Amino acid sequence: MSNIAMLGKGTSLKLYSKYSHLFKKVYLINRFQKEINKIGVSHFKNKEVIQVVGRASVQLSDGQYKDLKIKDVYLTVFDMFHFKTGKGKVLKKSFPKFVSLIVAPKYMYDRAFYFDDSEWKDVWGYVEVVNKYRGIEAIKELNKIIGDKFSELIKYRKKNPNEYLKGVKGWFSTGSYAVDLALTQSEDGDNFYLFGFDFYNTKYLVPSKLDKNYTRESYGTLLQKWHMKKLVEEFGSINFYSPCDIEICKSPDKKVCDGEVIKRCDELGLLKMDYKNWHIIKK
């Protein structure tokens, strides 16, 4: 049994320092240079520190990589060709040469999702159809529907990688991928502590312009929460600890979460996490 810390960027990240002594393995999501400095580098020493990054120039300082003995950085893409910005900038050069960049394993392909953030509204529209399935089966069924509905577009993207640099499949956020990947490598009885995974109910602990990329009402956020619920279902032998419960569609924002959507989420059981293996950390 292992205690594993997953560190996002929300305000609840500040609680990590209180529990840091529990962990021998810690995952950092995306750029974390300022967060390490704010929390204190001592809380990351003598641990296996793993960084997971998306398609952006996100890295620590060379000194932090050396100081924390980080050797491996995991990427959300399935090949190095797609490890570029939307403008085609090659991101490999942003990392020290002594760090190994590791693409998503092939077995994760069936766990990834079609489409990017501009099309997540379409993906969310089919959640109701697949919600009766549990865990990875729901993800597979969702991809099957999307694959059938948009088969020609998917074929085009596969044949024209230079025009669509995001790749054919991916995750709703780097954090979603990091949790998914770590769980596939977990053992029964492991304890997963999620700090800073506030699902955009809070601001980032360290202010960032990325704060505005999502809101708690956006389709991307709704899908991240749904995905987390499916992971908790699938990995029933893992204990999850978080300062936050997961609620979906509680916002009065009519643009996304109107009354009908709230009613539908309630009927689907998506409004609140009620699993025995989801535990709330006292703040």
Identify the bridge partners of residue 73 per DSSP, sorted by sequence position.
51, 101
Average pLDDT of the chain is 87
| pTM given for the model | 0.91
pLDDT at 272 over 90: no
pLDDT digits (tens, 9 = 90+) for 180-235: 999 999 999 999 999 999 888 778 888 876 655 556 667 888 899 999 999 999 99
pLDDT band at 24 (very low <50, low <70, confident <90, very high): very high
Using 50, 70 and 90 to split pLDDT, how confident is the model at 252? very low
pLDDT in tens, 49-60: 999 998 776 689
**Residue 262 one-letter amino acid:** I
Residue 161 has pLDDT above 60, yes or no: yes
The mean pLDDT of 234-245, rounded to a whole number, is 93
Domain 3-112+170-245+273-280 class? Answer: alpha beta
pLDDT above 80 for 15: yes
For the chain, the three-class secondary structure string (H helix, E strand, C coil) is CCEEEEECCEHHHHHHHHHHHHCCEEEEECCCHHHHHHHCHHHHCCCEEEEEECCCCCCCCHHHHHHCCCCEEEECCCCHHHCECCCCCECHHHCCCCCEEECCCHHHHHHCEECCHHHHHHHHCCHHHHCCCCCHHHHHHHHHHHHHHCHHHHHHHHHCCCCCCCCCEECCCHHHHHHHHHHHCCCCCCEEEEECCCCCCCCECCCCHHHHHCCCCCHHHHHHHHHHHHHHHHCCCCEEEECCCCECCCCCCCCCCCHHHHHHHHHHCCCECCCCCEEECCC
Instruction: Compute the half-sphere exposure of residue 105: CA atoms within 13 Å on the CB side of its CA.
Output: 9
Q: What is the pLDDT of residues 88-142, one digit of tens each?
A: 778 888 899 999 999 999 999 999 998 777 788 888 888 888 988 999 999 999 9
User: What dihedral angle (degrees, nearest 10) is formed by the CA atoms of 176, 177, 179, 182?
Assistant: 180
Q: What is the pLDDT of residue 25?
A: 97
CB 3 within 8 A of CB 19: no
Domain boundaries, the chain: 3-112+170-245+273-280
Which one is predicted more confidently, 269 or 16? Answer: 16
162 vs 7: CA distance, rounded Å? 33
Angle, CA 165 vertex, CA 160 and CA 171 arms, to 5°: 115
CA 105 from chain center: how many Å? Answer: 16
Range of lowest pLDDT (135-149, 172-186, 249-263): 249-263
Q: Is the pLDDT of residue 254 over 70?
A: no
Helices 136-149, 219-234: axis angle to 10 degrees equals: 140
Q: What is the pLDDT of residue 120?
A: 84
pLDDT at 6 (0 to 100): 97
Q: Which of 24-38, 45-59, 107-121, 252-266 is least confident?
A: 252-266
Map tokens 């990688």 to a residue.
Answer: 161
